Structure 1
Amino acid sequence: MAKTILEVKDLKINFKTYAGLVHAVRGVNFDLKEGETLAIVGESGSGKSVTSNALMKLIPQPPGIYASGQILFNGRDLVPLSDKEMSKVRGNDIAMIFQDPMTSLNPTMKVGRQITEVILQHKKVSKADAKKRAIELLTQVGIPFPEKRYNQYPHEFSGGMRQRVVIAIALAADPKLLIADEPTTALDVTIQAQILELMKEIQKNSKTSIIFITHDLGVVANVADRVAVMYAGQIVEYGTVDDIFYNPKHPYTWGLLGSMPDLDNDADELLRTIPGSPPDLIHPPRGDAFAARNEYAMAIDYEQEPPMFQVSDTHFAKTWLLHPDAPKIPLPAAVAKRIEGYLAKGAQAND
């Protein structure tokens, strides 16, 4: 059985603002095993990027506040560590790939030097060996003519190639955990697919654990082992990819699945949307935070926060619809149709 590399327990992150205290992350719990990919999915403002930045201790304090919780990396709690102590963890043990490669790269420095600097900072090697390793990494992430590219500047690369350089930098010190925060959002669909394939290949070869942050459930199906669905600073559903795609239980997950564009849809079929908008987290709502947007909400949803119900050994969901006394709600037609499509594609792939 794979070893657990990361445990997040009751993590709460607040931000002091002029308008009041924003409760951005509200009691998040999850774990990650060696060689596993966990996708954290949700709309903008759901708290997924704050959670990922918190793991790296990149939340500026102030205005950020680690209100409670633990981030256990190989059994060591990162929350109380100083910035100096965390600098030994960042890059070396945990590395991050950000959304926009151009803001991650230094435009005045050749890409080869940007990779070798990370290697020299974390590994006891000579400059010659660091350069050799940098060229190997450029080759590994699929950049042609790596010896030539080593001496070029970021502006000489396309968007997809820049993101490959960022991945090479993230891999430079052989981290045990890679956090990818919307790494394909700024890229076109073809390049996006190439980057996702590259990340799958990296994981297969290096056994690196990956946390993949995205708003796109379509991306998740191809890269993740498990999925955490976030809404209003909380994880509302948690399970394997099959649990989430074939047996979703939370109405918010239904909304995300139903609103995914599908190339197989009829041309005149309207794309579904989730009505309303996420709640104000300066004043988090009573009860279930999704109640105001949930057409299946019951009276209790507005009064009492639901617990995390266990659906199976791997599957959990935070909704009163799973209470034994709740009415049995059939899957919305758009979600049922989407699941039928996934099953059909899976059957075709196995033929």
Structure 2
Amino acid sequence: MTVSDETGAGTRTAEKARRALTRWLGEDARGRTVWGRGRVLAALAVLTGGLLAFPGVVPNTPGRLGSLLESFLPWLGLVIVVLFGLAVLRRSATALIALLLPVVAWAALFGGLFRSAQAGDVDLVVVQHNVSDENDDPAGTARALAEAGPDLIALQELLPSALPVYQEALAARYPYHEVRGTVGLWSVHPLSDTRVVDIKPRDIEEYWSRGMRTVVHAPHGEFAAYVAHLPSVRLGVGGFASARRDESAERLARAIAAEDLGRVVLLGDLNGTVEDRGLAPLTSQLNVAESGFAFSFPASFPVARIDQVMARSATVSHVHTLPALGSDHLPVVAQLRWA
């Protein structure tokens, strides 16, 4: 190809681009310009941005719609993508500019979670996992969790029949463990002063024990470890049923607020995301993960992280999940640094 041919090809490409831009900027069949069309899309973009920036404006009554929105708040990013595609197809500059609002709001809320784990000091590595009362391979689950090499392993839905299997499989690497009710903690460090934490909702009359507290004597100093399994939530015709979960979260938060030790680590299936206002009694006094989405439920197609690691006087620097291990939850691994 000669220089003149290359110049001609470049000119034709530039001309095609100019014509395409002219068509995009031109008026539609109704005589509307790029500024006059797509106003509905622009309004939807502003609404999406408003929900991201101020989800608290959505009331929790009736049906706890506010908590429902907050549980899936990161997924509003998909709404942004759809609106962007429609704005391009609609050739609306107004809609594209309006989309800057939800993009900035989403990035401010969740952009930091894309950061990878930072190299540096890690004082504590923990695993949080609801092993499921239907798990048919507790020994395999225990071995896989131990292979991740954490200092602590917190488990929920421990059945009496499966407990000896976990104890035997974890004994070599984790000589210290405590179990209360259906929750337990395995540790490479000594444990002491273990007790039940009563987080049972008032309307549950049968035996129900899903909270415990123990002191971990680690090389960097002792700290209180709480293991909890809050009540499940349900989505039905009446809305988002989370009253029991919220009540249990308040009871757990009061126990942690009264904790004498300054350092606290909470590990649990909390059946809620950190954005959900139902967990505000906990998130208002504990630090949550700074990076990593780590969606943990359901294991077949995770859409939310309801398995949490939170801390007081410590930073939860990063979280990630392990592969599925016979449960409907994925295990969550967290790295912590003491303040």
TM-score by structure 1 length? 0.28
Point out the structure with max Rg over C-alpha.
2
TM-score by structure 2 length? 0.28
Bigger RCO of structures 1 and 2 (CA < 8 A, at least 6 apart) = 1
